[in-house]
């Protein structure tokens, strides 16, 4: 059985546990191989390289864009990564080799960025394309660092490992992402070596350009399809559970066990990604199941995501949501019966490259829930210029999801649980497919709503 397995940044930062629980575990020499690991950068490293994913705090890429001292920032990064190397000394990371690798990689990055800066200074080139190239170069450093270290540690622990560097840092070949992956894995005997691949892949289309911060999962997906893996495994620092254990408590947060790709898509739509949707589609089409496992509970089978799974009993599998959204209502007394009114609204959304998470309508109002960010504010400004009345409110969205919830009573139980906790439903949506009930509520009620719905529908 050949598996392709992704290890996330938080787990990578605790690589001693990864080594003991995932890579070695209770395996014998006979079943040590036929596994390919795709690794993310260590926790926070990509934030330092680009910008903080949640806070937006400037990283080296932003400094490069703004003409600030990115060279000094790269030197500071090198020292941080060398300090990270020291934390793996006890699990046999060869310190001189690791330090030399990341030092050389950063020096090359400096040379590339300085050359780009010189070209930009001429004023003859498209700045956007060069900026995107700089983002690609910087992003690749984190995964190269963690993958090299992983192979070094695994080899020094007596297991044959191969470093598959997909970053293309030392070549000028014009390969697509798929072509690079195909060439990198061609001829490898997976029964004799553990492959560790970088989560970043260089390609002519630009993996950051196409997928931005979801690129490591896209690499993982493409590798699994390329090698025709029997299963794709994602190792996280938590189970895919009925609800966030930080909100509902570990005793009431139940591992899901089984679900399907449709439910995984619902999670991705609200930012709670089991896997990036653009990474899951190739696996789904190829018939490769995904298993989500907890790094720190290696004996637990985790949750299997498959194409055709439907729960044999009607149940809510996951309660999740977000409190970082806006409800935008377009109201117009003349909307009733007007053909194409929605189209006019959606043309503005398309112009600002914004997709809604929820949509609910009546005769003269359309309400959509979108992410609360800078792009949203630009969208709202234009909507106010073009339409009769726009109302905007910071809200929370809570969702009850499952593969078999088309059953009388679930909506009643959910609404009752919210009512009993004095939480008003301000807007609601559910499609005919009936895999997701979406409730828009007051932002302040988010945590209580998750707890109430999990207690009423999942933990019983």
Q: What is the DSSP string of 205-247?
A: T-HHHHHGGGHHHHHHHHHHHHTT-SEEEEEESS--BSS-HHH
Rounded to whole angstroms, the Cα distance separating 200 from 211 reads 11
Q: Are residues 73 and 191 in the same domain?
A: yes
Is-contact 439 398, C-beta < 8 A? Answer: yes
Rounded to whole angstroms, the Cα distance separating 95 from 149 reads 9
In this structure, is residue 407 part of a structural domain?
yes
- Which of 177, 203, 237 is the last residue before a domain boundary? 237
201 or 209, which is more confident?
A: 201
Computed over every residue of the chain, the mean pLDDT equals: 94
In this structure, is residue 110 part of a structural domain?
yes
What backbone torsions phi and psi does residue 34 show, to the nearest 5 degrees? 60, 40
Local confidence band at 274 (pLDDT 50, 70, 90 cut-offs): confident
| CB proximity list for 406: less than 8 A, separation 6 or greater | 314, 434
In this structure, is residue 310 part of a structural domain?
no
Domain enclosing residue 18, as ranges: 3-237
Nearest to 369 by CA among 380, 360, 381: 360
In this structure, is residue 259 part of a structural domain?
no
Local confidence band at 459 (pLDDT 50, 70, 90 cut-offs): low
Do the bridges between strand 318-331 and strand 303-306 make them parallel or antiparallel, or are there none, so unpaired? Answer: unpaired
What backbone torsions phi and psi does residue 207 show, to the nearest 5 degrees? -70, -30
Q: What is the pLDDT averaged over residues 73-78? A: 97
What backbone torsions phi and psi does residue 66 show, to the nearest 5 degrees? -90, 5
Rounded to whole angstroms, the Cα distance separating 332 from 361 reads 12
What backbone torsions phi and psi does residue 355 show, to the nearest 5 degrees? -110, 140
Cα-based torsion angle of the residue sequence 12, 17, 18, 22 in order, rounded to the nearest 10 degrees: -160
Q: Are residues 228 and 335 in the same domain?
A: no
Q: What is the pLDDT averaged over residues 68-73? A: 96
- Which of 222, 237, 252 is the last residue before a domain boundary? 237
Give me the CATH number covering residue 388. Answer: 3.30.2130.10
Q: What is the pLDDT averaged over residues 326-343? A: 95
pLDDT at 292: 95
pLDDT at 278: 83
pLDDT at 162: 98
Q: What is the pLDDT averaged over residues 242-262? A: 93
Q: Where are the beta strands (DSSP E) in 372-442?
A: 389-401, 427-429, 436-442
In this structure, is residue 254 part of a structural domain?
no
- Which of 186, 211, 237 is the last residue before a domain boundary? 237
Reported as a single tens digit per residue, the pLDDT across 143-165 is: 999 999 999 999 999 999 999 99
In this structure, is residue 128 part of a structural domain?
yes
In this structure, is residue 204 part of a structural domain?
yes
In this structure, is residue 109 part of a structural domain?
yes
Rounded to whole angstroms, the Cα distance separating 238 from 214 reads 19
Reported as a single tens digit per residue, the pLDDT across 369-410 is: 999 998 999 999 999 999 999 999 999 999 999 999 998 999
Considering its fold, how many domains does the chain have in total? 2
pLDDT at 25: 86
Is-contact 7 219, C-beta < 8 A? Answer: no
Q: What is the pLDDT averaged over residues 86-108? A: 97
Rounded to whole angstroms, the Cα distance separating 226 from 180 reads 11
Q: Are residues 85 and 226 in the same domain?
A: yes
pLDDT at 210: 81
Do the bridges between strand 365-371 and strand 258-260 make them parallel or antiparallel, or are there none, so unpaired? Answer: unpaired
Local confidence band at 460 (pLDDT 50, 70, 90 cut-offs): low
Q: Are residues 183 and 330 in the same domain?
A: no
């Amino acid at each position: 059985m050949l598996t392709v397995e992704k290890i996330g940044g938080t787990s990578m930062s605790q690589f001693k546990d990864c080594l003991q629980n995932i890579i070695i575990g209770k395996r014998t020499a006979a079943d040590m191989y036929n596994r390919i690991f795709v690794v993310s950068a260590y926790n926070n490293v990509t934030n330092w390289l680009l910008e903080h994913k949640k806070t937006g705090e400037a990283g080296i890429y932003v400094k490069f864009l703004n003409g600030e001292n990115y060279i000094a920032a790269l030197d500071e990064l090198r020292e941080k990564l060398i300090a990270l190397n020291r934390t793996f000394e006890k699990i046999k990371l060869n310190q001189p080799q690791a330090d030399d690798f990341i030092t050389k990689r950063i020096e090359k990055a400096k040379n590339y960025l300085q050359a780009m800066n010189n070209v930009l200074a001429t004023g003859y080139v498209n700045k956007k394309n060069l900026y995107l190239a700089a983002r690609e170069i910087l992003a690749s450093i984190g995964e190269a660092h963690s993958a090299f270290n992983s192979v070094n540690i695994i080899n020094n622990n007596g297991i044959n490992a191969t470093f598959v560097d997909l970053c293309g840092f030392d070549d000028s070949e014009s390969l697509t992402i798929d072509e690079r992956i195909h060439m990198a894995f061609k001829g490898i005997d997976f029964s004799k070596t553990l492959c560790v691949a970088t989560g970043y892949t260089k390609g002519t289309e630009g993996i950051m350009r196409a997928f931005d911060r979801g690129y490591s999962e896209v690499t993982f997906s493409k590798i699994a399809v390329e090698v025709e893996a029997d299963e794709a495994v994602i190792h996280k620092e938590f189970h895919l559970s009925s609800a966030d254990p930080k909100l509902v408590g570990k005793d009431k947060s139940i591992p899901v066990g089984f679900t399907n790709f449709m439910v995984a898509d619902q999670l991705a739509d609200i930012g709670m990604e089991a896997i990036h949707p653009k990474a899951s589609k190739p696996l789904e089409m190829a018939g490769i199941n995904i298993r989500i496992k907890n790094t720190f509970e290696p004996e637990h089978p985790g949750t299997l995501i498959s194409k055709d799974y439907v729960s044999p009993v009607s149940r809510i599998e996951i309660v999740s949501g977000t409190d970082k959204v806006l409800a935008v209502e377009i109201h117009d007394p003349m909307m009733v019966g007007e053909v194409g009114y929605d189209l006019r609204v959606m043309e503005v959304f398309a112009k600002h490259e914004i997709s809604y998470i929820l949509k609910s309508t009546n005769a003269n109002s359309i309400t959509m829930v979108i992410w609360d960010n800078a792009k949203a504010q630009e969208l709202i400004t234009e909507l106010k210029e073009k339409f009769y009345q726009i109302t905007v409110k910071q809200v929370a969205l809570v969702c009850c999801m499952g593969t078999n919830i088309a059953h009388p009573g679930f909506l009643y139980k959910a609404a009752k649980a919210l009512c009993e906790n004095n939480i008003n439903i301000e807007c609601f949506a559910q499609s005919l497919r009936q895999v997701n009930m979406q409730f828009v509520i007051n932002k302040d009620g988010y945590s209580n709503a998750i707890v109430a719905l999990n207690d009423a529908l999942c933990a019983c």
